[in-house]
Amino acid sequence: MTINEPFTFIDLFAGIGGFHIALHELGGKCVFASEWDSHARKTYEFNFRNISPKLFQNDLFRGDITLEENQKCIAENVDILCAGFPCQPFSQVGLKKGFSEARGTLFFEIAKIIKNKQPKAFFLENVRNLLKHDQGRTFEVIRNILKNELNYSVSFRILKASDYGLPTHRPRLYIIGFREDIAQKQEFEFPEAVPLEFTMSEVFNGNCSKDIGFTLRVGGRGSGIDDRRNWDAYEVNGEVQIITHKEAKKMMGFPESFYFPVSDVKALKQLGNSVAVNPVKMTAENILKILGLKKNFL
């Protein structure tokens, strides 16, 4: 790779493209993406067909990643494999069966792709409770497969979006790994926390009682501003205001130009399923340092 060439990445369980935004802003080229949900696919294609035209022209934006025909389209030896994979429950997983124990879960599909395509690095994201699921046995199976069966390093940490400039708590588990021949060069470090770039008052363009907003939820509405289950009602200029996708996308670090060709309810659901852009971008910068790749800001 010459210094002027972009690094490459694939975007699995792509959702609406939080990973795509973050890595594209660092100069990356998405060479394959998959997302099965039809509404999320609509939003993804609307926003990235001009940014990454060959992805769509060459039929490299696929649906169900469990299909062999879709996995065959993935290029080998890409720089970074990205996946915000669903936390599909492992049922009472053990500690010794490894690859066979993960069969039937969506993580197994990621593991199979890593095994067959040998990316230089992977960047996985999931809910923080994955660390404690089944008394830690689920994550131990995941770590064991990545490290001992696939021969990648494994670094993990729970990062909060509010520690990386965005006014939403949104704690998520990040799992970073490098192929064995690369991992020996330098130890990976997660990015240092930074101050808020803006507060919820700036999100609402008014005086909000909270500087940092709630973590977006996937389904339904809150139950009133004083209810402990509330997540979408805020006091702004002394009045209750319900969040819309316009405020939510700013909280999550999506650009103002990002458009949702779906209803507001679906847009909020899609944002609730997405990664927060800032911590992904800052973590990806540190991945590029290990890979020895130059950032080519676009």
What is the SS3 assignment for 138?
helix
| From 30, 73, 82, 87, active-site residue | 87
Helix (H) or strand (E) holding 289, with range, is helix 277-291
Q: Which amino acid is at 67?
A: L
Q: How far apart are CA 190 and CA 213, in angstroms?
A: 24
Both tokens assigned to 122: 């992977």
Q: Which amino acid is at 2?
A: T
Q: How far apart are CA 195 and CA 205, in angstroms?
A: 20
> DSSP state, 162?
G
Give the closest residue to 1 by CA, choosing from 35, 28, 25: 28
Q: How far apart are CA 280 and CA 286, in angstroms?
A: 10
Q: How far apart are CA 285 and CA 217, in angstroms?
A: 28
Query: What strands lie across the sheet with 8-12, from one edge to the other?
Result: 61-62, 29-34, 8-12, 80-83, 121-127, 171-178, 155-160
Question: CA 158 from chain center: how many Å?
Answer: 13
Q: How far apart are CA 265 and CA 13, in angstroms?
A: 21
Angle between helices 277-291 and 18-25 (to 10 degrees): 50
Report the DSSP beta bridge partners of residue 106: none
Q: How far apart are CA 46 and CA 49, in angstroms?
A: 6
Both tokens assigned to 62: 């696929």
Q: Are the beta carbons of 175 and 270 closer than 8 angstroms?
A: no
Q: How far apart are CA 143 and CA 152, in angstroms?
A: 10
State yes or no: is 30 an active-site residue.
Answer: no
- Catalytic residue annotation: 87
